[in-house]
Chain A
Amino acid sequence: MVSSIRNRESRFKTYKGLYLAVGALLIAALVINFTTGINFFKFTNLLNIARSFSMLGIAALGQTIVVISGGLDLSVAETISTANVFAATFMGGQNQLFLPITLLTLGFGAAVGFFNGLLITKRNVPPFIATLGTAILLKGIRLMWTKGLPRGKIPPNLVTLGTGTTFGIPNLFFVFIVFAVIISILLTRMGYGRRLYAVGTNSAVATLSGIRSDRIIIVSYVLCGISAAFVGILLGGYTGMADQKIGEGYDLDTIAVAVLGGAAIGGGSGSVQGTVIGAIIMLMITNISLLARFPIQSQMMIKGLVIILALTINARRKR
């Protein structure tokens, strides 16, 4: 009991900066509500946020695993876009192809991650360069394949998954919950998670202690590739279309969310909880800014300031 309370206290202290940022944003939302009548807390608004949060959250969790391992993945955006086009093309609007093509698309994402992992571990290419190169390669392959004209159609049940609700809650949110639970178990209750943190903290020492560091790193990129491919499919359901650029922005956004959530560039730290809070902060900022009709310049400045503030508080706490 005492140990459990101490753990909760410790987790609070670890994420104190993030909780403060969420608190500040909630206060800002209340102020905006009182002054303008625009209600951030309206149920339908929260559902919209939940939908966007789910997709960003899944991609960011994949990125978090890579960041914990000491790397980062700049091919997330192109993996998402390619998976989106791939899935739409081969599903062809047919419900019966949804499941097999989803599995195939996830396999594609895994292959991208495997390729990244091999480049980084077996060829010693720095993660930044390796994944950037993969991103450019994916874009070229996709453009050559589609000739700029994405084909295919999103099947109705994927549209239902992307836009529908169950018991009033977006289906996407349920998908995210399942995904987050799986990743959380992987990181906190399984041997892989322990080894991942060890490799991220010090890869050489981890290897000397008998951990197969290369394998751990490769798996981290495979998981990131799978999560990116999954988001590509879900974005197809959300928008109802295949789009060459649907993943644009996800590479940097997922890194920002992971780092905001406490994952250290350089490896060794990060968590599902932190990433979830990081994604909540990012989306709250965006949503409140839009509701308050802030111009784009103000939105960018607010986003930047909140991120810097949260990171500063977190960095001070870790000292």
Chain B
Amino acid sequence: MKQGLRIFLLLTFMCTLSVAVFAGGGQEEKDDGIVIGFSNAGMGDSWRQFLVANFNAACAADPAVSEYYITNADEKPEKQLADIDDLLVKGIDALIVYPTVADAIIPAIERVYDEGIPVIVFGGTIDTQSYTSLVMQDLLEFGRAQAQWLADELGGSGKIVMLSGIAGNTTAEDRLAGAREVFNKYPGIEILDHQYCDWSPPKAKSIMEAMIQAFPQIDGIWADSGLMSWPALQALDEAGRPLVPSTGDQLNGYTKFLVSKGVRGYAYPMTTQLSAEAVRQAIKAAKGESVDKVVYIDIDGYGPDEIADLTKPDLSDWWWIGDDQMPEEFLPEI
């Protein structure tokens, strides 16, 4: 028994020593390259897959970056707090954060920022000034651009329906507000109805089916996402009603439908290149260069011609057109 205990203790000591050597002394000597850490909110959908792909491609493309790490918080703020601590331990030179719940992770962000490490945030605003740069997509402009295209398409006159995401969600409300700003300038455009569809295709379809019953004439569909405009168009098609101009985002399933049916549409990207822009800002900050506190990423929407060029008829409905402009090895698996 005593001998067994001795052997056990000896083995435990050797294991601990080995771990210490390889974790501590065995660590690769850091070169002059920039080490970037990306604390991602989650990987629960294809859009996030493209977000990560764009991050990886941007890091690999810049020779200044020697290492990059990604953590996945599974949409849990408490996990993201721990993830940020883990990234700090890895000796990062810059932190990029896509927040789960912005306010919940402020303590971790402030801790990193106070240590003099640049913090780049994207994917939402945050109630602290302890960050280096906030990379944003203007969601009001998102809604405005979509609405302007539809208004132009209808010649400033017509009956439209509006389909939004989740009621109260900032992304949905900002896009809606931007769209309403534009439609208010066109007295000839009548908004028949606006409903929240939770970005759910079956819900959008059943809501559109009800709208078709309620309104004998619908000339256009404003939807902030292809997840809703696509099934809405399906509902029109199945009801034997004419397919009308619509708006959405850069979802391949939506654009495939437009192309296959020869329907005009406008895809305004909810771009996954936010992560690539965040990488560019992180590299600048890590080099000591000046970066703007808020950086708006420039986005152009895709009209019918661009949609026809960018759509991938043979790829998944969940591909995000235009966001795949990267070396093939970084593209998400299909």
Residues of A with Cβ closer than 8 Å to B? 38-39, 42, 44-45, 48, 51-52, 143, 147-151, 163, 235, 238-246, 248-249, 286-287, 290-291, 293, 296-297
Contacts and interface: CB of A to CB of B under 8 A. Distances in A.
B89 to A, nearest CB: 26
Interface stretch (B54-62, B100-108, B195-203, B300-308): B195-203
Contact of A151 (B205, B210, B253, B334): B334
Contacts of A249: 198, 200, 203
Interface stretch (B39-47, B129-137, B289-297): B39-47
Contact of A148 (B46, B207, B209): B46
A186 B293 CA distance: 66
Contact of A290 (B167, B214, B231, B318): B214
Contact of A149 (B46, B196, B201, B234): B46
B253 A241 contact: yes
Given A240-B234, A245-B200, A296-B195, A48 B213 contact: yes
B217 interface: no
Nearest to A136: B74
Contacts of B46: 148-150
Given A38-B214, A143-B43, A291-B210, A246 B201 contact: yes
A287 B196 contact: no
B210 A148 contact: no
A48 B44 contact: no
Contacts of B214: 38, 290-291, 293
B298 interface: no
Contacts, number: 89
Interface string B88-128: 00000000000000000000000000000000000000000
Nearest to B320: A149
Most buried by B among A38, A143, A148, A235: A148
Given A45-B213, A151-B316, A291-B213, A238 B205 contact: yes
Most buried by B among A149, A240, A241: A149
A206 B213 CA distance: 51
Given A147-B49, A149-B49, A248 B200 contact: yes
A199 B153 CA distance: 63
A293 B231 contact: no
B198 A248 contact: yes
Identify the interface centre among B43, B196, B201, B319: most chain A CB within 10 Å of its CB.
B201
A296 B167 contact: yes
28 contacts: A48-B206, A48-B210, A51-B206, A51-B209, A147-B49, A147-B332, A147-B333, A148-B43, A148-B45, A148-B48, A148-B318, A149-B46, A149-B316, A150-B316, A151-B334, A239-B202, A239-B205, A241-B201, A241-B253, A241-B317, A245-B200, A248-B200, A287-B210, A290-B210, A291-B210, A293-B214, A296-B167, A296-B196
